[in-house]
Amino acid sequence: MWCKRFTISALLMLGIGVLTIQAQNSLFVKEKNGTQTNTTLNEIRKLSFHSGNLVVTKTNSTTQSIPLSGVRILSFKNYSTNISSEFSKENTILSLYPNPSSDILTISLGEVDLTGSQVEILNIRGQLVQNTILQNNNGKIDISGLITGMYVLRIKSINKFSTIKFIKN
């Protein structure tokens, strides 16, 4: 019974992750023993759940089978850093506050100058609902026109990007 509940939960998490797949670029599997597997979405041909296993079939025809009983987290987000691997290489921290917010969000990425960076806000369906260019490093973004709900904020700067979730109340 536990395995069946876990399978249903994993399928729901995978479905929710697919909704925000535009903002993510990798599948992360963290096992109970602490090992974490990262597979870019471009490498994945097929994901399936077969005989109590998560089966990842890659584009190079190799397969990886992970027992569902050993999976702690299955996600399209890296829980070890909580930010994109591109910015984490520079040891920067994406800040978005206040979260939740009703009108103005302030965004900062530590020492990285974000002036001229593109900020996109996606709804839970992955649809672009707002697009802004930051005017300074601690940019303020007006979200008063958004309806109440959860959103994904994506920052693009030259060839780097980062995403973070926020709530509009």
Task: Give the N- to C-terminal CA distance of the chain in Å, as an integer.
Answer: 37
pLDDT at 49: 85
- pTM comes to 0.48
pLDDT at 130: 95
Among 165, 169, 167, 168, residue whose Cα is nearest residue 24? 165
Going 100 to 120 to 114 to 83, the CA torsion angle's sign is positive
Beta strand ranges found along the chain (DSSP E): 26-31, 36-40, 44-50, 53-58, 63-67, 71-75, 95-97, 104-108, 118-122, 128-133, 140-142, 149-157, 160-168
The structural domains of the chain, with segments of one domain joined by +, span 2-75, 85-168
Asked if residue 18 lies in contact with residue 11, where contact means CB atoms within 8 angstroms, the answer is: no
pLDDT at 143: 95
Q: Is CATH 2.60.40.3580 correct for 85-168?
A: yes
Q: Is CATH 2.30.30.100 correct for 2-75?
A: yes
Per-residue pLDDT of the chain (169 residues; tens, 9 = 90+): 555 555 555 444 544 444 444 445 777 787 888 777 878 777 888 888 888 888 888 889 899 888 888 887 777 755 444 444 444 444 456 778 888 999 999 887 777 777 888 999 998 888 899 999 888 776 889 999 999 999 999 888 766 778 888 999 9
